Structure 1
């Protein structure tokens, strides 16, 4: 018997998800005198399955793979058990990334904990990421499965023990459809890029005799055994590396299939209705519109198949005017091509020469009106601009030729306009052209009696059948489908459905409920921003993996309780008892946090009200060296050596600190301030006046990356720069630094449109990486594109609501976009919530920014802010440093005209410059504040102290905000994005000159 249905599907997805594409030899340029080449059927290729273990010196091995699959009716259930062996001397984290085929879904997975498999449970995606990363910091056992974008899934497992093994079970549920030849095919890709130590495979084909089955030649050695209701196929191999997917096919039996089941006191149905193929008259093609997605991910599409489809369409037409819209982060102007006698060589050369670069903007997928046929060639992975799908003025046919694609989005976009989805992974060029030029039946109306919320897998029959699911409201139901062909002729099909006789509603959802939830979620997710709450409810209720949820396995009950994640059934009684005990404590946490915040803000006010000297810092007499202390461990920080006043101070590295450093204790700051406050002021320096204006200039260190590609771009002419960039891009497609460097060159050379296109590639690199999206948003704001940054930061907040930086960044962006009231609300969220202890002082930082904004924009509603915290504390000089890497310690340094260094070991300078508590766990921000600035030159520097990451990145990107007159009417801001390479690296970010 298979494990829980969740595990089952995950495995099938990883293996049987149809991770295969199609390869078609590129046809030569069309010739009007030459007949079209024969159309070849799709040829399966190996799946784009990737297994990452970045820090492994020796490859992690696949010790064994055990597959159990059950094929019954029109569905396949598959379970895959992997045993991974880590031959390295250190503990590692592994990531398995894989796409799924159209219609496939993931239920769950399991991880061995103490020798027993523990099933995963659903959790909000952002919560799952936060929990996984927090637990890996404690070196405990978590595993996380999440959907990144479209049909791409990612499984993260930690730890892979040194010199040990780890067992993971994946599951899937896959619908099986007949092809144009009337055959059903099930495939199981098994190429992991390495040999499998031991392979065991068992496939139960229910209702099928051995003579009805056709096996792929590579698996003819599989043993067969008759079952009471079918056939069992099995094989076992050592050191196997299959070069082709395990393939099994049989002739489809056209029959109606209806399945019902009960879940949580409701009945559901899933049905498949055979619909004979009926094609309309052939379209006379004279006007053709092509919307060609040329974003960076578009390079991964199978262009040979796309060109074969175009050739099949154009060779059969005598005269066609083609209007081409090339789309990336924005749409290019329409170009027109005239195709006569099937000669489309000019159009083909233009398409072959396109540069695939930039992000994917769905708003640009709009075809010109007045066309006989409009085609969108895309993978559907929209990641730029508005998340809303555009409205097409005419039926838009979506064409997919990518293994990594959002087929649900493409289908919805096409069907809403009256078009269809053409999947070139399952259709050859001739079949696809026939589908487009001779459209068949389409569902135009659905009526149900005794049922509700009926969902269609597609509005058009696929494999000569329609699949649908719904929720029953009566014991007997009637569903009526009205279909219409291209000539407007209609036909009606009815389904009679009886409710489930099985009255149990506990346990995992039955097949009918699963399929209904999958179909409904797939439709809702095409407009996810409008249906986020319902998608979340469905994912939790039916244990489905959605774009907003993940599946997670935790080590022990304490972790499930700490993060309030409902555990598997075997642990739920103990979980509920533990949650009841701590409920009262959690209810008081926010009020306690506000009390602590008020006390700490009073400390900030006390610092701000004190008067600090503005003369030269005295040089203390050198004290005699203390006697050496042997064999005495210590965590104290040696004091930095004093530096004499200097008009142009130079940076001196701090004394080494123990790693990891503990954040300074908050109570130490007032004592230091009291000591400094006894010093005399310089005569004539202003005291506590908040309105004193200063004359100051900010000079940011121009970021000049010294990599060879950056130098080459800077030295190129404007006409050649983009071509040189594309030449370099081929070898840098996974490098964040490359796109940041190249974009910086284009911006600095007066080519902002190309700079934006280059920068937008960051949205395509890691579709769910909040760190990378933060960098992109910061750089867009630096480029003055705050409106483009806002949806990206909204996405970051969705991905990481448990990180206060997500709220603060979004609030500051809304302030820059001219929406100060929204900014106030978000900054208050950041300040008022109790966060994890590693986010030191970010609440104070956000509160300071909130009050400064309210002071500069009178009339804003600040009634939600605690009255104890409503006070603006303006500053002459302020510097705020943030960075993109978690578990990473970056230090902010400021050197003033006295040569006095303010840093983590000396957080208060002689003249009153104050540094916030040290951020040692990632992201920042660290803030330097100076109420009254002594005239002279100030240097702002950043230093990479260290990291505790499991997966390292080659660079850490820094974001620095420098302000003069902060919180005053004349506030001036400048921002910069740059990066550090590794531990010990430091950089001069900018300077203030106070006159």
Structure 2
């Protein structure tokens, strides 16, 4: 069985939450003891750097060794420089390196997770928010090693002295057993210079015009990084060419004479400062230094300060005379960084100016990444995790400039901002060249690089440079395939990377073209990943063309038996039609109940003897079983239960055995069936049955959520109102939150560094502020969850639940839309987004997205996992149609699904993690409990299909509710993933008079704790 996980960031690779250098960071999951936490080390590191012209290719081969006796899992993150994308990834499979192949990102994630559940060895490298890349490594075998290869091409930049600069960070804080670094500079007329080197033994030695440096070390910890400066002659055009199927790819470097015109800064400047939590990653000292140069040059001006996090506010007007800006500088140095980031909150109403300077990383985690400003916006970045495309787009759209202070000095950045730079304007006489990039105006600071495709054997064209639309200089470029030797670098990939970088500025308009291009050239983008599969059958099953070494066998099998292997996909329409008929039959059934029956005494069921004949025994542990067998049993039981329910639509099925999730293979696989106030525990392996005794007040039936105090309330009898208890976390940090919100907020800020990467810290503290009626601070604190990790759907689901509960529906739409973007393979993604749209009054869009749940194609594993979700979606589709009437059009909905189904009571349970088993329990006024084993109650209650994995949801409905108290509980068996997203979080939506004009709703969000079985009280209400 796969062990439970605990997040650990490998200490040898910058063990901090916020990355401080551009280096790979390994997060080790599943480590439970201190020995396991120290078990994984980078054993071997081989780095090969090749520089040709202004293009550097870096290939890193890393071997990680796990010295523990437990299988672990790793996640390696690479923050990449501006304009750089990873183009090579390989993983060792059965002792041999296997190259990855490009696949659509969503499909790659779906395939990876499907194969990972089979305990096979897939590898996945994907691009996440900003220019950050991550790969998941599983398994890291006990007392064994795994090797990965990551490679990327980087177009080097020039400084004002026409010097190329290559930099490789090497600040590892542990010695590496075997360390190799080789650097080759090809065809350099001028000898390269070392600006920084790992130690004194590294040097570049000449071999003609090629320079080579190499070191091989054992148990070595580099003291410095590697920086190579390559001077270039500005009178020499550099050309790289590569033969293509038709024509040639080319890359041209020219060095136009630097010209500039001084910029006149406006008297009214808007300074927008990103104060979100991720702002702690920025180098604010460099930012203030740049701002100081701008102010001292201008001397007299007025600056309006705007602060952006999850919201936006004007922080004051500062009139600066004679360059004295002490007051503003002091304010900037003492800002508090808190909350997510929402660029769409920035507006001219709050901050009016003639031009703006925006200091941010470009990652808008809590709102759309667009700003509604119609004056020039200059975007400045100092963070290593940044969204360069967003920053470039904002600058380009508004007529401002983008400055990356990671790749240039403050002085150079000031020169760039303080002058109108010479720009590349276009090509003249370029009939024989096509697809040249850049294709738009770009600044030229002494160097310009152009890539394209040449149709003929040789040609020439003219590059034009100038200001605005005025050409002030031209340069002729001649391309001849016989004069220019074919390059050793992959020029086509450099060209593709340039084209993708330009298209990515307007990603939504170009995403389809980006996908085609990235798959052809093997470049990782927002919508394309690199994947490695273990065997030929997996490539065939998932319709993925394998790497070269498997293609011959792939093509052979393709002709013979691909149809038999190819994974089938299906939608849910047929199942939904069948379910609609079943729901109609259930709804039309009269459940006779006499009020007097409720008062009759209920007798406990007699306990069943265990297999040893001892009636006093409480639990008989099942024999150990493998995780795979547990899954098979659960799937078989689900199918059997569904067949039984279909055969007799309103007849209560026999209790179905359910497996409780366990944390390791040595624990028993048992399942619980509750009958009245006792519970039967049935072995999934032996079939033996024993009884757990309990009462209504026992922990088994009325447990608490671990770490949560429950304050019960008693509603007035027979009042149609939903009363939910107030939940308060009992975590240690909550004991410090005392006093009024102002003082409590300062306490929170002091505690935050200890819990900075703990989602539940922000959840609990935000909940406290909501209870104090300080919803503004509460939302800011809650929105920090969005800044904790890149593209983490589990975190965003937790956030969406709380936003729904607190009525922040516009924010809920953004969060659920991001989840849908990341996980379109899950039915729940469409449903969550649809319900957020409905919350915000966008009923037609909500209806359309609900219907998509039923019309999407799902692979067999996901379809089996989510069997029964159609019952919940049918209810929600018909609720929208019934409530909104003329506000929605149902003409696109299959008419067989439209059926009015109003009910007195409806409860829906959702949770945020995959591979999770959670049950909904509802006890009616007669004392009868509806749950997976008693899915049809005597008074007409109906529990939907039991989800033993996946995200749920589960639903309880009753058409005609009897008077009295209803109690809602959650039984949490556990999950198989505890990582940065924290514990599993559930949300319950409680409705009375559902799908009628008198509908009421309450939402409650609760964190669960593993190992706590039994009923966790969610809420209760009187009907």
Bin the TM-score by the shorter chain: 0.7 to 0.9
Find 1:276's aligned residue among 241, 253, 257.
257
CA-CA distance at 1:846 after TM superposition = 0.9
Whether contact under 8 Å (1:58, 1:87) holds in the other structure is no
State whether structure 2 residue 113 is matched by structure 1 residue 90.
no
Aligned pair partner of 2:522 in 540, 543, 559? 543
Distance 1:637 1:796 in 2: 42
1:5 alignment counterpart: none
> Which residue number corresponds to residue 401 of structure 1?
382
| Mapped partners of 1:196, 1:318: distance in 2 | 52
CA contact (8 A) 1:456 1:468 kept: yes
Is the partner of 2:727 in helix, strand or coil?
coil
1:432 equivalenced with 2:460 (yes/no) = no
Counterpart-to-counterpart distance in 1, 2:539 and 2:935:
38
Gaps of 5+ in 2: 1-9, 622-628, 655-717
Following TM superposition, by how much is the alpha carbon of 1:880 offset from its aligned partner in structure 2, in angstroms? 0.8
**Residue 239 of structure 1: how far off its partner (Å):** 0.8
CA distance in 2, matches of 1:453, 1:211: 34
Instruction: Look up the match of 1:850.
Output: 877
C-alpha contact 2:199 2:223 (8 A) present in aligned 1: no
- For 1:924, what is the secondary structure of its paired residue? coil
**2:925 maps to which residue?**
897
The match for 1:987 is 1016
Q: For residues 637 and 774 of structure 1, what CA distance do their matches in structure 2 show?
A: 38
Which of 797-806 and 760-769 deviates more? 760-769
The verdict on how the C-alpha distance between 1:163 and 1:374 changes in structure 2, with shifts beyond 3 A counting, is: same
Cα distance change of structure 1 residues 967 and 282 upon mapping to structure 2, 3 Å threshold: closer
Q: Distance in 2 between matches of 1:752 and 1:160?
A: 45
* Aligned counterpart, 2:29: 54
Q: Secondary structure at the match of 1:730?
A: helix
2:696 maps to none
Map of 2:403 onto structure 1: 422
The answer as to whether partners of 2:542 and 2:567 remain within 8 angstroms in 1 is: no
User: Does 2:752 match 1:729?
Assistant: yes
Classify 1:952/1:892 alpha carbon distance in 2 versus 1 (closer, same or farther; 3 Å): farther
Asked if 1:720 is matched to 2:743, the reply is yes
SS at match of 1:960: strand
The separation in 2 between residues aligned to 1:676 and 1:109, in whole angstroms, is: 54
* 1:118 match: 98
Instruction: Give yes or no for contact 2:582–2:649 (8 Å, CA) kept in 1.
Output: no
Please state how far the C-alpha of 1:240 moved relative to its aligned partner.
0.9
Give the C-alpha shift of residue 176 in structure 1. Answer: 2.0
2:855 maps to 1:829: no
Partners of 1:982 and 1:899 in 2: CA distance = 27
In structure 2, how many angstroms separate the alpha carbons of the residues matched to 1:540 and 1:169? Answer: 19
**Contact preservation (8 Å) 1:358, 1:757:** yes
Change (3 A) 1:358 1:881: same
Pair 1:696-2:720 in alignment = yes
| Alpha-carbon distance in 1 for matches of 2:76, 2:914 | 21
Q: Deviations over 1:678-726 (max 9, x none)?
A: 9xxxxxxxxxxxxxxx97321122232233444544x332433433332
Where does residue 975 of structure 2 map in the other structure?
947
Select the residue among 712, 718, 730 that pairs with 1:706.
730
SS in 1 for 2:340: coil
| Structure-to-structure mapping, 1:967-982, within 5 angstroms | 967-982=995-1010
Match of 2:508 in 1: 529
Question: Once the 2 structures are TM-superposed, how far is the Cα of residue 961 of structure 1 from its aligned partner?
Answer: 1.0
SS in 2 for 1:298: helix
Change (3 A) 1:970 1:281: closer
Judge conservation of contact 1:263–1:509 (CA < 8 Å) in 2: no
Q: Which of 632, 645, 650 is the equivalent residue of 1:669?
A: 645
> Are the aligned partners of 2:653 and 2:936 in contact in 1 as well (CA < 8 Å)?
no
Matched-pair contact (CA < 8 Å) for 2:190–2:232: no
Instruction: Go from structure 1 to structure 2 and tell me whether the alpha carbon gap of 1:79 and 1:902 turns closer, same or farther (over 3 Å shift).
Output: same
State whether residues 466 and 473 of structure 2, in contact with CA within 8 Å, keep that contact through their aligned partners in structure 1: yes
Once residues 854 and 500 of structure 1 are traced to their aligned partners in structure 2, the CA distance between those partners, rounded to angstroms, is 70
Of 487-496 and 716-725, more deviation after overlay is shown by 487-496
Contact 2:237–2:253 (8 Å) recurs in 1: yes
| Cα separation, 1, equivalents of 2:438 and 2:778 | 43
Residues 506-551 of structure 1, C-alpha deviations (whole Å, 9 max, x = no match) = xx99733322322222232233223222222222222211112211
**Structure 1 CA distance for aligned equivalents of residues 247 and 1003 of structure 2:** 56
In the alignment, the residues of structure 1 paired with residue 458 and residue 818 of structure 2 have an alpha-carbon distance, to the nearest angstrom, of 44
Matched, 1:166 2:142: no
Distance across 2 between alignment mates of 1:930 and 1:399: 58
Superposed counterparts of 1:362-373, under 5 Å: 362-364=343-345
Q: In the TM superposition, what is the alpha-carbon distance from 1:225 to its structure 2 partner?
A: 5.4
**CA spacing shift, 1:527–1:217, aligned 2, 3 Å:** closer
- The aligned runs of 1:310-389 (5 Å cut-off) are 310-333=291-314, 335-364=316-345, 374-387=356-369, 389=370
Residues 271-670 of structure 1 mapped to structure 2, 5 A cutoff:
271-281=252-262, 283=264, 286-333=267-314, 335-364=316-345, 374-387=356-369, 389-390=370-371, 392-446=373-427, 448-456=430-438, 459-461=441-443, 464-472=446-454, 479-485=461-467, 490-497=472-479, 511-575=490-554, 581=561, 583=563, 590=570, 594-614=573-593, 615-616=597-598, 619=602, 625-626=608-609, 628=611, 661-662=634-635, 663-664=637-638, 665-669=641-645
Determine if contact 2:44/2:177 at 8 Å carries over to the other structure. yes
1:50 Cα shift? 1.7
CA offset digits 1:811-854 (Å, max 9, x no partner): 22222222322222222221244542111311221122112222
CA drift of 1:749 comes to 2.8
What corresponds to 1:909 in structure 2? 937
Q: Distance in 2 between matches of 1:583 and 1:727?
A: 61
Match for residue 947 of structure 2?
Answer: 919
CA distance in 2, matches of 1:105, 1:627: 62
Contact 1:202 1:232 in 2 (8 A): yes
Post-superposition offset of 1:114: 1.1
- 1:530 counterpart SS class: helix
On the 8 A contact 1:106/1:545 being kept in 2, the answer is: yes
Structure 2 vs 1, CA of residues 834 and 604 (structure 1 numbering), >3 Å: closer, same or farther?
Answer: farther
State how far apart, in whole Å, the 2-side matches of 1:979 and 1:537 are. 42
Q: Partners of 2:604 and 2:197 in 1: how far apart? A: 88
In structure 1, the residue matched to 2:5 is none
Aligned-pair distance for 1:975? 1.6
Moved more, 748-757 or 468-477: 468-477
Pick closer, same or farther for the CA change 1:192–1:624 going to 2, 3 Å. Answer: closer
User: Equivalent of 1:183, from 163, 167, 180?
Assistant: 163
Deviations 1:74-99 (A, max 9, x none): 11112111111011211111011121
Contact 2:438 2:502 in 1 (8 A): no
User: Distance between the aligned counterparts of 1:285 and 1:597, measured in 2?
Assistant: 62
Instruction: Tell me how far apart the structure 1 counterparts of residues 329 and 307 of structure 2 sit (CA, whole Å).
Output: 13
- After TM superposition, the structure 1 stretch with the greater mean CA deviation from structure 2, 442-451 or 238-247, is 442-451
Distance (whole Å) between structure 1 residues aligned to residue 491 and residue 85 of structure 2:
14
Q: Is 2:190–2:231's contact at 8 Å kept on the other side of the alignment?
A: no
**Aligned equivalent of 2:994, options 942, 966, 969:** 966
Q: Please state if 1:841 is matched with 2:868.
A: yes
Equivalents in 2 of 1:550, 1:808: separation in Å?
26
Asked if 1 retains the 8 angstrom alpha-carbon contact of 2:802 and 2:1005, the reply is yes
Relative distance call for 1:463 and 1:596 in structure 2 (3 A) is: same
Q: d(CA) in 2 for partners of 1:206 and 1:677?
A: 75
Change (3 A) 1:622 1:359: closer
- Against the structure 1 CA distance between its residues 225 and 773, is the aligned structure 2 distance closer, same or farther, given a 3 Å change threshold? same
Distance of aligned partners of 1:757 and 1:283 in 2 relative to their CA distance in 1, 3 Å threshold: same
Aligned to 1:3: none
1:554/1:415 Cα in 2 relative to 1: closer, same or farther (>3 Å)? same
TM-score by length of 2: 0.82
SS in 2 for 1:107: strand
Taking the aligned partners of 2:265 and 2:857, their CA distance within structure 1 comes to 66
C-alpha displacement of 1:728: 2.9
Shift of 1:903: 2.0
Change (3 A) 1:795 1:576: farther
Partners of 1:621 and 1:423 lie apart in 2 by 72
